[in-house]
Structure 1
Amino acid sequence: MVSLSEVGRSYGKGPHRVDALTDVTASVAPGELVAVVGPSGSGKSTLLNLIGTLDRPTCGQVVVDGQRVDRLDDRGLSALRAHRIGFVFQQFHLSAGVRAVDNVADGLLYTGMSRRRRRERAEWALQRVGLGSRLRHRPHELSGGERQRVAIARAVVGDPALLLADEPTGALDTQSGALVVELLRELNASGTTVVVITHDTGLAASLPRQLVMRDGRLVKDIRAGTTPDRPVQEHA
């Protein structure tokens, strides 16, 4: 589903150059549930942007769902995002005053579906995340956990093959966060490839695989149940 080969991403030039990612090589198979974990500044968000086709690598090769991201034009990237990738962020990014079903339906605006079909899909997605009774509730009428579930419904309403979740529990209390993680597990069990970006080592350790980032480099690839952990070249 995702393949990164010697990927680097730099910003600026000369003495002002910042290497956000350096020589990252990794792959995520279809149907995997993976955490990308590391402290602030480790390169997690940059990696998310590259996998999600929101940015292009400075060097190396990024392949998502069989397509070379670095070779796609803007139209191709938009099509890949619209039909194959779903995004969930720490901040829910829901439209204030707009009903849950319409917030979710907005996730299909660029697919060419009719308004009626978008609403039908939105209702299905909200039922899928356990919010079938909250279709007409507005964001201020929902708890934090419910708002995140609306955001997840919006991300999966197009039935994407790949779901990218950026700190999906960061704005939630412990109980709500646990429910969101369980929902991500359920979506993964139904066949969706899920990549969770997090600084929460406890959350990362609870998932089947961890890609550990530090200083823009991938330093460990840890799979649950393996002894010892699968090594990646360490960097000081």
Structure 2
Amino acid sequence: MPNPFISVILAHYPSIEQLRATTELEIERALLRCIVEYCADGMHPMITRDAIPTLLLEDGGYAYSVQTKSDLERVIARAWKGLEDGGLIEEPDSYNGKNGYRVPSAKGKSAHAATDYTGVRMRTRFAREMFHPSLPDAAWNAFSVGDYDTAIFEAFKSLEVAVRNKGSLASTDFGAALMKKAFDPDNGPLREVAAPRSRRVARCDLFTGAFGEIPNPKGHNDPTITDTLIAVEELMTAGVLRRIVDNA
């Protein structure tokens, strides 16, 4: 079995491919949790950077290869530096510090206590390829670090631009009003002319309703989105709507 504290990282990133693909911030969060819990067990008051890759390659950890070892050392070194630069880990004392040992700082312990590790773990289950190819970097990057409101806002902003461009509509048209104009069942440039009018009305309602309800929770005084699955559902909704626009 892997070291119980290093298993935190393995739980978030079961394969080395997932670890390579995740953001630096997410790795820093997982590494901080590992360090805090490792140093709090009473047996390991401090830890070195080089110990982490070694522990991750023990029995029950990642399968050893020269490439995997190299990748782990690079990823952990980058995350370790991020924690140091952010003041989240520090030298326990001058003697052990010069030998590479670090402990979580008070700031690091506070950050650890405030981190939503369940959300971190949930996000690793969703690869970018699961979303519509048009999902902008700004939306994906925000989702990857748990900023769901921004992710959804950016996804729908990109969709709005696609509708405006596809329908050759004015740059002064926005949101639900833009959707109503683009998909107007009688004269909207993106209406499906061959479809029955009832379906054209339904499509117009679909787009205007989505833009009236989803993209800007802060603007509607709705609570900030904290549930990963709700964020995924709304990003997927943007993808479904984008597919309709692409085929219009």
TM-score band by shorter chain is under 0.3
Higher helix share: 2
Higher strand share: 1
TM-score normalized by structure 2?
0.26
Structure number with greater CO (CA < 8 Å, separation at least 6) is 1
Larger Rg: 2
